[in-house]
Copies of this chain bind each other. A is one copy, B any other.
């Protein structure tokens, strides 16, 4: 028995090591991708945050994570920062977002009185303030936030504010391990956390996952209160408030009265004028960079096919902060039954989140296997890994989606259509590769007249080749 056990031991050690190394080396050897919905959520006083399973293979392969905030009217997502660059998309509602950038001036001031620069000269008038710039969030806004920059969101509208957030944990800017970690500056985040899906599957026995938003409170909680008294020069009671140990509200809190914030004009025109004015100066520091861009703005549309749909890309040219973050985004719409060209992305992973309707998506790996062939519905996510081929066809109701890419200049190659790999190939290469006649090879190259987005059964039966 002892001998047996020893042999077993030796075998285990060998095998366990091999197995583990393999997982590391082959974490993108994907045979099956699933459409994902949130697997967990954390409820707070004035909203909820929903989490997609970070250990799902498609997320692990791409090194990305994804969450969704649902903030009630009057709700404030407490200030926090994360160890990865992130992009968010405002799916619904409106709000105000502040991003704290170290060393940037506090340019938003209440009133023009100069005396506020020295608070000791403050007179008995109403509360005044000065803070860093804030930005309005509207539906369709993509916000981009550098790793480690603190930010907060306030819902100043009348409907739920829904914001999805994409984290690139394998980005160079993250020097910690490849997990998204949130550091709260306030509150007591775990207080009301709970799991909503009781039937949640334990896919990984033995994995003691970190609670996504901590389980011990904000970062002030880890300092001695005496240190905070000295650092902030406040009394002990106020310093204890920083730690928020008795705070029961969770990470999204209800604002008592309406938040008084000095903010940019509400209308888009005014806001854009203001932005433009600000960019005219000489400084091109991060302080003057725009941190959001509305991807639904018609000026961003790159592909339009009135019979099929449209695509807008936000890359480093249109949204310069993305150059620093090495990320980009795209917004797509397919009209009912329309098709997006089969394609692959050369240099980026691509996370798809459906915001309206549904579509059939097929994803193919390097073995020519279909790893996903399913309906992707509103609220669902799939990750298309770098180089994997994919095709989309909208359902009867059509589909809209937002997609996030792990490259600030993500490059796509279409397989069919006016601008595509098949057109780039000599006709004789096509004929020999696919064992078809030169005539059929020309059909493969030229029968599809449209670009990227194809109307349903577009010119079937009407093509010049088929009529030849």
A: number of interface residues (CB 8 Å): 180
Name A339's contact: one of B207, B230, B428 (CB within 8 Å). B230
> Do A98 and B429 touch across chains, with their CB atoms under 8 A apart?
yes
A210 to B365, CA, bound (A): 12
Q: From B82, B102, B218, B426, give the contact of A262 (CB < 8 A).
A: B426
Given contacts A206-B15, A238-B440, A362-B223, contact A413 B24 (CB under 8 A): no
The reply to whether B373 and A224 contact each other, CB–CB distance below 8 Å, is yes
- Evaluate contact between A444 and B207: CB separation under 8 angstroms: no
Contact A442 B233 (CB under 8 A): no
How far does the Cβ of A56 sit from chain B's closest Cβ, in whole Å?
Answer: 13
Binds B, one of A145-153, A159-167, A193-201, A269-277: A145-153
The complex places the Cα of A220 from the Cα of B364 at a distance, in Å, of: 8
CB contacts (< 8 Å) of A174 on chain B: these are 386
B residues in contact with A417, CB < 8 Å: 231
Q: Chain B's nearest CB lies how many Å from the CB of A462?
A: 9
Q: Encode A441-466 as 1/0 by CB contact (under 8 A) with B.
A: 01110111100001011111001111
Contact A391 B346 (CB under 8 A): no
Chain B residues contacting A439 (CB-CB under 8 Å) are 127
Chain B residues with CB under 8 A of A115: none
Stretch at the interface among A36-44, A135-143, A181-189, A315-323: A181-189
The complex places the Cα of A101 from the Cα of B419 at a distance, in Å, of 11
> In the complex where A366-B181, A419-B103 touch, is A447 in contact with B234 (Cβ < 8 A)?
yes
- Nearest B-chain residue to A180, judged by Cβ: B366
Would B427 and A127 count as touching, CB distance under 8 A?
Answer: yes
A 9-37 to B, binary, CB cutoff 8 A, 1 in contact else 0: 10011111111111111111100000000
Stretch in A253-261, A293-301, A328-336, A396-404 touching the partner = A253-261
Nearest CB on B from A424, distance (A): 4
Inter-subunit contact A442/B206 (CB<8 Å): no
A61 touches B222 (CB 8 A): no
In the complex, are the beta carbons of A170 and B177 less than 8 A apart? no
A347 at the A/B interface (Cβ < 8 Å)? Answer: yes
Q: Given A231-B339, A387-B176, A393-B227: A20 and B16 within 8 A (CB)?
A: yes
Residues of the B chain whose Cβ atoms lie less than 8 Å from the Cβ of A178: 25
- A205 to chain B: which residues have CB within 8 Å? 14-15, 18
This chain: copies in complex: 3
Bound complex: CA of A424 vs CA of B449, how far in Å? 54
Contact partner of A241 among B16, B347, B436, CB < 8 A?
Answer: B436
Kindly state the separation between the CA atoms of A134 and B132 in the bound complex, as whole angstroms: 48
- Given the known inter-chain contacts A238-B440, A364-B219, please indicate yes or no for A259 contacting B432, CB distance below 8 A: yes
Contact B347 A210 (CB under 8 A): no
**For A459, what are the chain B residues with a Cβ–Cβ distance below 8 Å?**
233
Decide if A421 is an interface residue (CB 8 Å cutoff).
Answer: yes
Give the chain B neighbours of A150 by CB distance below 8 A. 413, 421, 424
Which of B5, B216, B365, B434 interacts with A244 by CB under 8 Å? Answer: B434
A132's nearest neighbour on chain B, judged by CB, is: B424
Are the C-beta atoms of B367 and A231 separated by less than 8 Å? no
Is the CB–CB distance between B231 and A391 below 8 Å? yes
Give bound CA distance, A409 to B176, whole Å.
17
Nearest CB of B to A412, in Å: 6
- Is A376 interfacial (CB-CB < 8 Å)? no
* B214 and A368 within 8 A (CB): yes
In the assembly, what is the distance between CA of A120 and CA of B228, in Å?
A: 73
- A231's closest neighbor in chain B, by CB? B416
Q: From A386, which residue of chain B is reached at the shortest CB distance?
A: B175
Once bound together, how far apart are the Cα atoms of A110 and B407, in whole Å?
A: 37
For chain A residues 88-144, which have a beta carbon within 8 Å of chain B?
Answer: 98, 100-104, 106, 108, 119-120, 122, 127, 129-132, 134
Can you spell out 22 A-B residue pairs with CB atoms less than 8 angstroms apart? A18-B207, A20-B23, A24-B177, A25-B179, A29-B179, A29-B210, A79-B421, A81-B346, A81-B387, A83-B387, A146-B346, A183-B344, A183-B366, A216-B367, A222-B365, A227-B342, A230-B393, A230-B460, A233-B449, A233-B458, A241-B440, A244-B435
Counting from the closest, the 10 A-B pairs by CB-CB distance are A148-B346, A222-B364, A20-B20, A186-B433, A120-B464, A217-B368, A16-B16, A214-B367, A221-B368, A233-B447
